[in-house]
Structure 1
Amino acid sequence: MNKKISIVIALVLAAGAIIFFVKNKTVAVVKHQTNKVEQGAISSSFYTAGTLAYRNQARLSAELVAKVTHIYVQEGQTVEQGQELIKLDDSSVKAEISQMEAQVARGDIEIRRARSDMEQKRTEWLRQSELTARGMVSKQALDLALSALDNAKFQLESNEKNALQNVAALLQKQKLLEKTIIRSPIQGVVIAIPIKVGETAVASAVSLAGSSLMTIADPSSMVVEAQIAEFDIARIKLGQTAAMTTRAVPNETFMGKVTRIARSVSNDSKAPNDNKTVRTVAVQIELATSHPQFVSGMSCDLSLIEGAQAKTLLIPLTALRVDEISTDNFSGVKRRDYYVWQVKNGRVVKQMLEIGYADEYRQEVRKGLTLGDEIISGPAAFLEKLRDGQALPEVDVR
């Protein structure tokens, strides 16, 4: 019985100690942080992601259906303009050329025969004309001779046109024979060979198996392509300076300029056609220098510089506060008023600002503060509890 009483007393004492501790727990306070308005340089940038791509590349395809017999290069190999890359089977084309050569030769024979026949008919017509003039033959015999001459002329002209068609067909087959050799249209690097020896090349503009033989790219023409949301595209200008970084070369920044801004939004057939869908505009940045590690399709980070000030007033970005004030109850449009908490004679003053450029850590102030003014920059919980005109306190942020 005494043991049970002792346990109860111990529990009561423990509960009382917990209640006492909670009631008398020390209130946590946070000391404020202050900074003075400084002077310096600042630049504002628009940050987005991009993809590396070759501006100058050629996708090679065949102009006839034929098997691949030879591939003379490998992926990653540098090639010269006009260099032979792939050989297609030319046996059927050569057979057609032989057939057309025979037709051309036969056409020449027919032309010579028709020309000889025409000369005979002309001689006969002249003879009939002379006899008719002497009254030795009738006018009907002369007409028959003239008709035979006209027919001979027509046959000659017909044979000559057929011969021209045969020659044209032969030239076309000879050009087709040249196309069984695939040459590089540019100087560059082989970046893809989707076909193998023994497979059939297909003359097609669509993505069928065999329609793509090889892709050649100029590595010095590397550019960055980015998709900018339509509501941010006004921040992008032609000639705008950009800085690019990529994980492939993590310790180096590559500079470039915006060289192309699409005049239409990107076509995404999967995106719903409504006003809530965020559409994008394609932007291209040309780099001043490239790097051997760059590969088409590689992701990168972009910083597009919007503006800069060489000498201006600066405050920590953490000190900047904003009030959103509704200007129209129907449209929901809000005005954003910026301010900081300034320290004056030991009191907190709400100081309205006109701001300019900002970077990751600092904010430019154009109106509202002067060099050396003291402002409160944090912590955030402390700033939330401040009131205009109050004495500078230590604020409970529990």
Structure 2
Amino acid sequence: MKKLAIVLVLFLIVSITTFFVKNKSITGVKHQTNKVEQGAISSSFYTAGTLAYRNQARLSAELVAKVTHIYVQEGQAVEQGQELIKLDDSTVKAEISQMEAQVARGDIEIRRAKNDVEQRQTEWQRQNELTARGMVSKQALDIALNALDNARFQLESNEKNALQNVAALLQKQKLLEKTIIRSPIQGVVIAIPIKVGETAVASAVSLAGSSLMTIADPSSMVVEAQIAEFDIARIKLGQLAAMTTRAVPNETFKGKVTRIARSVNNDSKTASDNKTVRTVAVQIELANSHPQFVSGMSCDLSLIEGAQAKTLLIPLTALRVDEINTDSFSGAKRRDYYVWQVKNGRVVKQMLEIGYADEHRQEVRKGLALGDEIISGPAALLEKLRDGQALPEVDVR
């Protein structure tokens, strides 16, 4: 009996101590309260992006030849049609000389064939007259006619060969023009991956010498961003955006969404589990650029989803959420939002209908009125509050 009494006394002591410790953990902490305010708010979607030129040209050669001259430097402004690079044209010029000789030889063959046709025509006419007089046989006339036909066929063949030679000469002359690389646009030279003496390669793949120069229009700077597929519904064409970058840290650049890709990329991976994340490419056109901007530079984007000019606002720190399972089979959940409101010295759980949010504030559309008092922190204390309990010591903010 003594042992039982000792156990009961110890149990009572532990229970009373626990009760006072729990209550002290709630009542001993100062609460922060705020009143519901009225003001303007805009909601934004935040992501990272990369600066790029919308209008740029990567120049490559259409023949294999050594680079003999480079007339510009990186960073230099160029005009459309300006000469940029000269390729060795000695081989092409030799081929042109050869084709010119073939064209001249073809002209000679045509003249010779025409003379032959005229002679055969005269001979056929003579044989035709003799045959009419009965002076030669019909066989001699047939031989003359056959010789005339052969001469005509030879003339036609020579004329076609001449046309082929002229066409080949024109191709070589056009190829000679391509030994001079000109700028297709007005812009700035942003890359020259080849040097004088190196060989330019006519290739569409990334081989050494396949890329000669890159020209970009600096006024066509855009921002490219990869948006996760589960967020792409928040992005719309024409959506306003704001961009900041470390290159110009004290200035915000405005723009709008001008392109949303119609396919997804599978290149991105999450840092936590290395799983592939499907993303959609989005392009934002800037209203103005800056001389410090360079293609490939990283930047921060905020895409404005919506705004309210006059609405009820509370601190984001006050907002709480309950997740409720709505379908045990699929695991679907519903999110109910609420705050701890102060009413008559007690804490009341007040359900809300919310709207837009920014980095610090949340719009309230239903559930609260202007001037209502709510508890906004600290977070550890909000977790311990219970509906209907007495309001502890309060630190009004």
TM-score, normalization: structure 1? 0.90
Alignment CA distance shift 1:267-1:319 (3 Å): closer
Secondary structure (helix, strand or coil) at the match of 1:392 reads coil
Whole-angstrom distance in 2 between the partners of 1:65 and 1:380: 69
Match of 1:115 in 2: 114
Match of 2:242 in 1: 243
Whole-angstrom distance in 1 between the partners of 2:281 and 2:223: 10
Question: How far off is 1:35 after superposition?
Answer: 0.7
Q: Is the 8 A contact 2:268 2:278 kept in 1?
A: no
Match of 1:286 in 2: 285
Match of 1:353 in 2: 352
Question: How far off is 1:265 after superposition?
Answer: 0.4
- The 5 A counterparts of 1:209-248 are 209-248=208-247
Question: How far off is 1:383 after superposition?
Answer: 1.1
Letter matched to residue 317 of structure 1:
L
Question: How far off is 1:214 after superposition?
Answer: 0.2
Question: How far off is 1:30 after superposition?
Answer: 1.9
Match of 2:36 in 1: 37
Match of 2:262 in 1: 263
Match of 1:318 in 2: 317
Whole-angstrom distance in 1 between the partners of 2:205 and 2:352: 59
Whole-angstrom distance in 1 between the partners of 2:218 and 2:269: 32
Say if 2:73 is the partner of 1:74: yes
Unaligned ranges ≥5, structure 1: 1-23
Whole-angstrom distance in 2 between the partners of 1:326 and 1:269: 31
Whole-angstrom distance in 1 between the partners of 2:328 and 2:159: 87
Once the two structures are superposed, what CA deviation does each residue of 1:164-218 show, in whole Å capped at 9, x if it has no partner?
0000010000000000000000000000000000000000000000000000000
Letter matched to residue 162 of structure 2:
A
Question: How far off is 1:270 after superposition?
Answer: 9.2
Question: How far off is 1:277 after superposition?
Answer: 3.1
User: RMSD of the alignment, in Å?
Assistant: 1.6
Question: How far off is 1:90 after superposition?
Answer: 0.3
Match of 2:102 in 1: 103
Letter matched to residue 102 of structure 2:
Q
Match of 2:180 in 1: 181
Alignment CA distance shift 1:267-1:172 (3 Å): farther
Letter matched to residue 67 of structure 1:
K
Whole-angstrom distance in 2 between the partners of 1:92 and 1:205: 22
Say if 2:169 is the partner of 1:170: yes
Letter matched to residue 125 of structure 1:
W
Alignment CA distance shift 1:270-1:115 (3 Å): farther
Alignment CA distance shift 1:269-1:337 (3 Å): closer
Match of 1:145 in 2: 144
Match of 2:91 in 1: 92
Letter matched to residue 349 of structure 2:
K
Say if 2:70 is the partner of 1:52: no
Once the two structures are superposed, what CA deviation does each residue of 1:232-268 show, in whole Å capped at 9, x if it has no partner?
0111111111100000000001111111111110153
Q: Is the 8 A contact 2:50 2:296 kept in 1?
A: yes
Whole-angstrom distance in 2 between the partners of 1:328 and 1:364: 29
Letter matched to residue 290 of structure 1:
S
Whole-angstrom distance in 1 between the partners of 2:259 and 2:114: 64
Whole-angstrom distance in 2 between the partners of 1:57 and 1:113: 55
Q: Is the 8 A contact 2:86 2:179 kept in 1?
A: yes
Q: Is the 8 A contact 2:325 2:333 kept in 1?
A: yes
Match of 1:17 in 2: none
Letter matched to residue 231 of structure 2:
D
Whole-angstrom distance in 1 between the partners of 2:176 and 2:232: 50
Secondary structure (helix, strand or coil) at the match of 2:267 reads coil
Question: How far off is 1:134 after superposition?
Answer: 1.1
Whole-angstrom distance in 2 between the partners of 1:217 and 1:49: 23
Whole-angstrom distance in 2 between the partners of 1:267 and 1:393: 52
Whole-angstrom distance in 1 between the partners of 2:385 and 2:265: 47
Once the two structures are superposed, what CA deviation does each residue of 1:278-337 show, in whole Å capped at 9, x if it has no partner?
210111111110000000000000000000001100001000001111111222111110
Whole-angstrom distance in 2 between the partners of 1:365 and 1:83: 61
Secondary structure (helix, strand or coil) at the match of 1:279 reads strand
Alignment CA distance shift 1:89-1:270 (3 Å): farther
Question: How far off is 1:394 after superposition?
Answer: 4.0
Secondary structure (helix, strand or coil) at the match of 2:327 reads coil
Secondary structure (helix, strand or coil) at the match of 1:382 reads helix
Match of 1:365 in 2: 364
Secondary structure (helix, strand or coil) at the match of 1:196 reads coil
Runs of 4+ in 1 over 4 A off after TM superposition: none
Once the two structures are superposed, what CA deviation does each residue of 1:124-145 show, in whole Å capped at 9, x if it has no partner?
0011111111111110000000
Once the two structures are superposed, what CA deviation does each residue of 1:106-138 show, in whole Å capped at 9, x if it has no partner?
100110000001000000001111111111111
Match of 1:19 in 2: none
Once the two structures are superposed, what CA deviation does each residue of 1:145-172 show, in whole Å capped at 9, x if it has no partner?
0000000000000000010000001000
Identity of aligned residues (%): 93
Question: How far off is 1:269 after superposition?
Answer: 9.9
Secondary structure (helix, strand or coil) at the match of 2:289 reads coil
Whole-angstrom distance in 2 between the partners of 1:155 and 1:319: 99
Whole-angstrom distance in 2 between the partners of 1:269 and 1:145: 82
Match of 1:302 in 2: 301
Letter matched to residue 279 of structure 2:
T
Once the two structures are superposed, what CA deviation does each residue of 1:14-36 show, in whole Å capped at 9, x if it has no partner?
xxxxxxxxxx9xx6732111111
Whole-angstrom distance in 2 between the partners of 1:306 and 1:349: 32
Letter matched to residue 113 of structure 2:
A
Q: Is the 8 A contact 2:320 2:339 kept in 1?
A: yes
Secondary structure (helix, strand or coil) at the match of 1:278 reads strand
Whole-angstrom distance in 1 between the partners of 2:100 and 2:325: 86
Secondary structure (helix, strand or coil) at the match of 2:277 reads coil
Whole-angstrom distance in 2 between the partners of 1:161 and 1:62: 32
Match of 1:124 in 2: 123
Match of 1:158 in 2: 157
Question: How far off is 1:363 after superposition?
Answer: 0.1
